[in-house]
Structure formats: C-alpha cells, structure tokens
Amino acid sequence: MEPIMQRLAVRLQLLAANAKARAEQGADRGEVVEKVIIVAAAAAITIAAMAAIAAAVDIKVAGLEL
C-alpha cells in the first residue's frame, strides 16, 4: 500500500507544479496584454491630438485666405 501512496504524492506534486507553471505563464501573458493596451491607448491619444492640430491648422489657413 505504501508505493501507491508514494505514487499518489508524486502525482499530486506534479499536478501542483504544473498548475503553478500555468499560473505564472498566465501572469506573464496578462502583463503583455496590459502593456499592449497601454500602448494602444497612447497611440489613440496621439492620433486624436494630431487630428485636432490638423483641424486647427486648416481653420487658421482658411481664415487667412491665402
């Protein structure tokens, strides 16, 4: 009966190690996704600012009547 208990203990240790490794991989993926979202938000803000500047320049140029 003892070898069965040892095998069960080893199996449980392997399952725990596997679960821990998957959790760590998931955390790494979460960090990457978070960074991608932050970069995308910064890009969207930059594009909106560029569009606002372009619109302001168009309004000024139209007001000068070159």
Q: Check residue 19 and give its pLDDT.
A: 82
Select the more confidently predicted residue: 19 or 45. 45
Supply the pTM of this predicted model. Answer: 0.51
What pLDDT band is residue 51 in, cutting at 50, 70 and 90? confident
Tokens found for residue 24 = 């760590």
Tokens found for residue 16 = 């725990």
Q: Check residue 64 and give its pLDDT.
A: 63
Select the more confidently predicted residue: 61 or 55. 55
Structural domain boundaries in the chain: 3-63
Q: Which whole number is the average pLDDT over 49-53?
A: 88
